[in-house]
Amino acid sequence: MSHKILDGRLTSKQVKEEIKIEVDKILAKGLRPPHLSAILVGNNPASEAYMRNKVRSCEQVGFTSDLIRRDNDITQEELLALVKSLNEDDNVDGFIVQLPSPDHIDDTEVLLAIDPKKDVDGFHPYNFGCMAQGLESFLPATPYGILMLLERYNIETSGKNVVVIGRSNIVGTPISILLSRKDKIGNSTVTLAHSRTKNLKDISSQADILISALGKPFFVTVDMVKEGAVVIDVGINRIEDITRKSGSRLVGDVDFEGVAPKCSYITPVPGGVGPMTVASLMLNTLKAYKKKL
Ligand code: L34
């Protein structure tokens, strides 16, 4: 089967162009643009790269943004105080605390401190709960990005078998809930597989849509995929590659070379789900801004 690429780079560019048009209208009315703040603790190289993409995307869509950097030794109390100050700052429409944070930080307590109205990551249990019940909420960025890719490539989800590998709070669990909801992109029969799943190959081979979000390079191999499946690769893993100048390259969870020929559609890494995550964050920030007006 000849496979088609789900081009996240192109789709995110289109989404961002649509946002830019809305922002131009806002500015034409003499209003200030939406503002996104981001807290980045430490200097994890992957987080640095993701944050660069987020800040650049804000510029592209016409938002203002600020990246608030703190050292790895920030205390829990200092971080909570920073969150509180952003909650109270009327010029900040939405903000995120980039993960992972250092081990001594209690992420749950930090997330709970974020005002749900400014939680443009959609990670606060309030937003998560609303999402799970189909109520109005901010959708977590990566799952939201996956829904947009499926929608914009007209991939039918209703009645399809979806297998999600990985049960994290930020990707696996929410995407499994979203695709089972009664909604335009939804109505799938979802199986959530994880590290204790038995006979994963038998299960994944039933998937019309296979979503891998566990963070292990080359985990999904051709024998695990049904002929003609749609494969969504959420993993971003940096592996050694001596043929590259940098000495490394990015790969997903899927053995792309082996799996792609068997798929109807597949997302590449890089250039697949990653850019869609960033575009979703821009949409959530615009939504936070509009709700405040
Ligand atoms: N708070 N923490 C918070 N919110 C998030 O939504 C995230 N996530 C994940 C990690 N921690 C977070 C992201 O932003 C993953 N993630 C993310 C964002 C952007 C990209 C990938 C993951 C991205 O732009 N990926 C590019 C390549 C980037 C590179 O060169 O390293 C791509 O084409 O896939």
Task: Give the pLDDT of residue 1.
Answer: 60
Distance from residue 203's CA to the centre of ligand 1 (Å): 28
Domain ranges across the chain: 32-115, 141-274
Does any ligand 1 atom lie closer than 6 A to the CB of residue 276? no
Collect all residues with Cβ–Cβ distance below 8 Å to 6 and sequence separation of at least 6.
149, 153, 230, 232, 265, 266, 267, 272
Q: Which CATH class is domain 141-274?
A: alpha beta
Q: Is the CB of 139 under 6 A from ligand 1?
A: no
| Model pLDDT for residues 71-128, shown as the tens digit of each residue | 999 999 999 999 999 999 999 999 999 999 999 999 999 999 999 999 999 999 999 9
pLDDT band, residue 293 (cuts 50/70/90): confident
Q: What is the pTM of this model?
A: 0.97
Residue 51 has pLDDT above 80, yes or no: yes
41 lines ligand 1 (CB under 6 A): no
55 lines ligand 1 (CB under 6 A): no
Q: Which of 98, 119, 208, 233 is catalytic?
A: 98
Among residues 16, 54, 118, 160, the one annotated as catalytic is 54
Q: Ligand 1 within 6 A of 50 CB?
A: yes
Structure confidence at residue 248 as a pLDDT band (50, 70, 90): very high
Query: Looking at ligand 1, which atom is closest to the CA of residue 53?
Result: 24
- Looking at the chain, the whole-number percentage of residues with pLDDT higher than 90 is 98
**pLDDT of 7 higher than 80:** yes
Per-residue CA distances from 272 to 123, 140, 244, 250 (Å): 22, 17, 21, 12
Give the strand pairing for 161-165 and 189-193. Answer: parallel
Is a pLDDT exceeding 80 seen at residue 258? Answer: yes
pLDDT band per the 50, 70, 90 thresholds, residue 31: very high
Mean pLDDT estimate for the chain: 97
- Domain covering 32-115 in this structure, CATH number: 3.40.50.10860
Give the pLDDT confidence score for residue 3 in this predicted structure.
80
275 CA distance to ligand 1 middle (Å) = 8
Residue ID of nearest Cα to ligand 1 atom 20: 274
Tell me if residue 98 is catalytic: yes
Residue-wise pLDDT for 143-193, tens only, equals 999 999 999 999 999 999 999 999 999 999 999 999 999 999 999 999 999
236 lines ligand 1 (CB under 6 A): yes
- Residue 278: CB within 6 Å of ligand 1? yes
- pLDDT at 292 exceeding the cut of 90: no
Among 44, 47, 48, 50, the mutation site with the greatest number of ligand 1 atoms within 8 A of its Cβ is 50
Q: Which atom of ligand 1 is nearest to the CA of 275?
A: 24
> Quick check: do 32-115 and 141-274 share a fold?
yes
Distance from the CA of 274 to the center of ligand 1, in angstroms? 5
